[in-house]
């Protein structure tokens, strides 16, 4: 029985990371590990969406974008579904070193006898009999969802409704689930500034060593956070900060973000890596915000 079940956030929390995130790492193995650390941070701090944005150009960064999004999506997918949803790809050569997420939608239970009626599971449509669809939910036999007609290889969320001669389930919606249920991966085909303008987040927090020390604006951030439904936290690249990134779009960071903060004042290192900034920022915000 699970204790301290991680409830999902009352807001939708998005994180924007640059495509050049792994540009300073030469080998695929190290790139994979770095992206794995990003995925763990997203899961630990209940991030709902990760947005990968081009910080140089979409054409020049296509490979990096594909690598980051593929590995993040693979990591977010429950292990028992990966064989259905991911083909053998060179980007996943070192997927074996990725850390497990161990989130509520990645259950350890793989036996039907351990399922409980009312339990939610991620699944994939594996066949379509006349009376509905059969869904692989990670146990010995698939669950039948009656009356549905969904294409095979489609990922779905279901609720177990019956055990016995026939294991049965019904489709579930995200709003039906109170637990944190993983993140989705979004590719922005526009650079950061234009993406932020287009998405109209209620609250945008930009991270920068040139920003205000976090504790000076923490109270204002908390108040704005409570009033917001959609929140985005933006991070810079290994070689360029957010000021420089949006300047290439002829935009000013202060016009795009409600707050520009430095969560590691008096840093002793010349730079802070994106994944380090991600952990530091989300950890601090996790303490002071609901």
Residue 5 has pLDDT above 90, yes or no: no
- State the Cα angle at 75 between 144 and 110, rounded to 5°: 40
Q: What is the DSSP string of 159-216?
A: EEEE-SSS-EEEE--GGG--B----EEEE-SS-HHHHHHHHT-SEEEEEEEEEEEHHH
Q: What is the 3-state secondary structure (H, E, C) of 9-49?
A: CCCEEEEEEEHHHHCCCCCHHHHHHHHHHHHHHHHHCCCCE
Domain 12-102+183-288: CATH class, spelled out = alpha beta
Mean pLDDT confidence for 98-119:
95
**Hey, how many other C-beta atoms are within 10 angstroms of the C-beta on 73?**
17
24 pLDDT tier (thresholds 50, 70, 90): confident
Judged by phi (left if over 0) then psi (alpha if -120 to 50, else beta), residue 28 lies in alpha
pLDDT in tens, 234-276: 999 988 999 999 999 999 999 999 999 999 998 998 889 999 9
Mean pLDDT confidence for 102-125:
95
What pTM, to 2 d.p., does this model score?
Answer: 0.95
Mean pLDDT confidence for 162-167:
94
Mean pLDDT confidence for 8-18:
96
Compute the distance between CA of residue 101 and CA of residue 34 in angstroms, rounded to an integer: 14
Q: DSSP letter at 272?
A: -
Compute the distance between CA of residue 182 and CA of residue 159 in angstroms, rounded to an integer: 16
Coil vs helix vs strand at 121: strand
The percent of residues in the chain predicted with pLDDT above 90, rounded, is 89
* The total number of residues written for the chain in this structure: 290
Residue 150 has pLDDT above 50, yes or no: yes
Compute the distance between CA of residue 282 and CA of residue 226 in angstroms, rounded to an integer: 16
Which one, of 167, 58, 188, lies nearest residue 117 by Cα? Answer: 167
Mean pLDDT confidence for 210-225:
97
pLDDT for 58 = 86
Residue 91, token pair as written in the block? 């980007």
Which one, of 256, 265, 216, 213, lies nearest residue 16 by Cα? Answer: 256
pLDDT in tens, 273-290: 999 999 999 999 999 997
| Mean pLDDT score across all residues of the chain | 95
Residue 2 has pLDDT above 60, yes or no: no
Domain boundaries, the chain: 12-102+183-288, 112-175
Coil vs helix vs strand at 83: helix
Asked if residues 11 and 229 have their Cβ atoms less than 8 Å apart, the reply is yes
12-102+183-288 against 112-175: fold identical: no
Mean pLDDT confidence for 30-50:
98
Domain 112-175: CATH class, spelled out = mainly beta
Judged by phi (left if over 0) then psi (alpha if -120 to 50, else beta), residue 236 lies in beta
pLDDT for 1 = 43
Q: Would you tell me the crossing angle of helices 274-288 and 28-44 to the nearest 10 degrees?
A: 10
Compute the distance between CA of residue 201 and CA of residue 152 in angstroms, rounded to an integer: 35
Compute the distance between CA of residue 91 and CA of residue 63 in angstroms, rounded to an integer: 10
């Amino acid at each position: 029985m699970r204790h301290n079940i991680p409830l999902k956030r009352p807001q939708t929390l998005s994180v924007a990371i640059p495509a050049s995130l792994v540009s300073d790492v030469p080998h695929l193995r190290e790139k994979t590990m770095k992206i794995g650390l990003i995925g763990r941070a997203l899961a630990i701090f209940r991030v709902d969406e990760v947005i990968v944005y081009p910080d140089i150009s979409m054409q020049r960064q296509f490979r990096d974008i594909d690598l980051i999004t593929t590995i993040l999506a693979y990591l977010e997918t429950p292990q028992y579904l990966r064989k259905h949803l991911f083909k053998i790809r060179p980007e996943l050569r070192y997927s074996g070193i990725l850390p497990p997420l161990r989130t509520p939608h990645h259950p350890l239970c793989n036996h039907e006898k351990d399922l409980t009626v009312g339990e939610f599971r991620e699944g994939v449509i594996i066949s379509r009999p006349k009376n509905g669809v059969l869904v692989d939910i990670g146990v010995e036999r698939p669950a039948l969802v009656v009356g549905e007609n969904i294409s095979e290889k489609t990922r779905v969320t279901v609720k177990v409704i019956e055990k016995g001669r026939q294991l049965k389930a019904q489709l579930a919606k995200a709003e039906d689930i109170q637990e944190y249920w993983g993140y989705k991966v979004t590719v922005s085909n526009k650079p950061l500034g234009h993406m932020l303008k287009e998405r109209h987040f209620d609250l945008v927090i930009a991270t920068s060593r040139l920003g205000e020390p976090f504790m000076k604006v923490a109270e204002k951030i908390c108040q704005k956070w409570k009033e917001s439904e959609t929140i985005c936290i933006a991070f810079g690249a290994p070689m360029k900060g957010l000021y420089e990134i949006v300047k290439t779009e002829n935009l000013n960071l202060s016009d795009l973000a409600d707050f520009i903060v430095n969560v590691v004042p008096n840093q002793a290192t010349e730079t802070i890596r994106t994944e380090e900034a991600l952990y530091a920022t989300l950890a601090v915000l996790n303490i002071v915000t609901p």
